[in-house]
Structure 1
Amino acid sequence: MAKPIGIFDSGVGGTSIWKEVVRMLPFEDTIYLADSANAPYGEKPKEEILGLSVKNTEYLLEQGCKIILVACNTATTNAIDHLRSHYNVPFIGIEPAIKPAALQTRTKKVGVLATKGTLSSNLFHNTSKLYAEGITVLEQEGKGLVELIEAGRINSPEMFELLRGFLRPMLDQNIDCLVLGCTHYPYLIPVLREMLPAHVHIIDSGEAVARQTKAVLERNDLLAEKSNRPKHIFYTNAEVQVLKELVGTQATRVAHLDF
């Protein structure tokens, strides 16, 4: 089916998911919506997160999207149940990869770096309870990280200072897995690899989400034809430059949109 995959996030971070989706589904059209003017979602009340998620969803549906990826951990944990019950398309959500971390850890200590909105959600706590029995899950709110990523300041001194402060307590507790619980955070992996001991595994959800998206499209007979020449359209309600730098030449168009 030649309709696009719709993807929204509180900003540019969900492009880390988009890249995995395009890698696994190279014939699909995509429309990406970056609600950067309202980033980060993680410190907003649930009702506001829900309202923003509904607004983003309805815009993507107006563009004819056949499936929607909620490429934001906070929006998933606070809004996806509502979205699934109110709109007649499949939704794919994001949640911190607690299960693979619990399977990999040898020290039985796992760190989770996420936003306040994700860490305080019922979905996060239920997932931890389900998959992390006998595992110590050390939660760390990544306050300030999204704002620096949105500003294109990934390698700034401020970023290194924040990360050092966030990582030290978890390393002192002997974690050997660090779960990235926000779709912005995979852009920090090169920085994190510099700062973390070699034995600490960094785990994010991107590949698993792309695999699930492919499975749902197949199950619903929604895959694009292999002859399709894909178009990738990106919209943001903030400056376009950071988004352009992250998606590069694969983008068909990157544009500012008031929404």
Structure 2
Amino acid sequence: MAHFFLSETLAQAPSATQVGATVSLTGAEAKHAVTVSRVRPGETLLLGDGAGLMLGVTVMTAAPAELVLRVDSVRHSPPATPRILLVQALAKGDRDELAVQAATELGIDGVIPWAASRSVVRWEGVKVQKGQARWAAIVREASKQSIRPWLPEVSALTSTKQLAQLAATSRMLLLEPTAETRLTAIAPPTDDRDIVLVVGPEGGIAASELEILEAAGASRVRLGDTVLRTSTAGPAAVAILNATLGRW
């Protein structure tokens, strides 16, 4: 499998989209390529900007400060429509982070951290920005591992009230083990509204939160007859939706 690296400023150089052009990879990505991945001149890599642009390149020179690359192929991938967004409640341990990592590898298009009423973990003060940055780093590395042309965005910490506002403009699905409707029974969408999967913390989504979100237009769905951990429910639902939407 080819090494894949990200350079979010790649598209700022118009010549980068031309076969035969020369582009550079610098900073932490270049250092990682040379010191960790042991990339050497003559090797072929994939280079993306996280916004649909994917280049096949050959390494001309390799130093920890800069890789000089020749563009061999250019591919533009359109964004997914409809998007699948994961609302992941903050959870103790690393269970929320595991969910974010796996969901990214499986193709989630955006991640929304949620301060649910039953969340044991709380992002407060400086933890708000640190937590979002931590999740963004996880998403970035998972996107590189799975060679994704589009880098999912990690939104700011969201409240239940803000989720209710989102429910009014999207197709929001609440993963709830007691729901009557199975996620596998959901028909493919007929419009381009975002599909928003909401996963609660260890104790599940509180009854009051379910009522608020349902009143705003959300629907309850279940994955099966068993109860999954908060770290696995979201990725399992993403896999089902990938099949429903024809992505897989």
- Place the TM-score, normalised by the shorter chain, in its bin: under 0.3
Please state which structure has a larger fraction of its residues in helix.
1
For normalisation by structure 1, the TM-score amounts to 0.27
* Larger RCO, structures 1/2 (Cα 8 Å, 6+ apart): 1
Greater Cα radius of gyration, structure 1 or 2: 2
